[in-house]
């Protein structure tokens, strides 16, 4: 997790967290990457290997707003599948759809939400589900 994200979750200023990282006084494990980035490994927020509740399926949902963006759809689906595999999902199912985020006329998403066998839906950004 990035310093800025961890600081926001913990209610701290990012400068304070960077200082703790440099001084080695962080209360949780940290990693300094070769590019200079600090990664925080807080067990409280780690989700690696998380499984879908009660054996539910894990589905990757990729959506683009129009047919002119179809090239982006496959790349988005590939990124989601790679993420799911890195999180320990054995065989992630990928659902793709072309449709606006401004209304609820997204048949495939509505089917996923209504399906009781689906435990987790992975999206690239929140606005893939709906505009907020």
Q: What are phi and psi of 129, to 5 degrees?
A: -80, -50
Given 14, 41, 51, 65, the catalytic residue: 65
Beta strands 57-64 and 38-40 are: unpaired
Beta strands (DSSP E) in the chain are 30-32, 38-40, 57-64, 93-98, 118-122
Active site residue 65: yes
Give the alpha-carbon dihedral of 100, 105, 71, 84, to 10 degrees. Answer: 110
Beta strands (DSSP E) in 6-128 are 30-32, 38-40, 57-64, 93-98, 118-122
Residues labelled as active-site residues: 65
């Amino acid at each position: 997790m990035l310093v800025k994200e961890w600081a926001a979750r913990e209610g701290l200023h990012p400068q304070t967290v960077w200082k703790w990282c440099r001084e080695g006084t962080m209360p949780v494990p940290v990693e300094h990457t070769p590019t200079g980035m600090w990664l925080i490994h807080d067990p409280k927020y780690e989700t690696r290997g998380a499984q879908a509740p009660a054996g539910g399926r894990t589905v990757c949902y990729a959506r683009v707003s129009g047919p002119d963006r179809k090239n982006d759809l496959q790349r988005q689906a590939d990124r989601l599948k790679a993420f799911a595999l890195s999180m320990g999902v054995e065989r992630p199912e990928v659902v793709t759809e072309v449709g606006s985020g401004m209304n609820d006329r997204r048949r495939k998403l509505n089917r996923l939400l209504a399906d009781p066998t689906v435990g987790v839906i992975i999206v690239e950004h929140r606005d893939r589900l709906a505009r907020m």
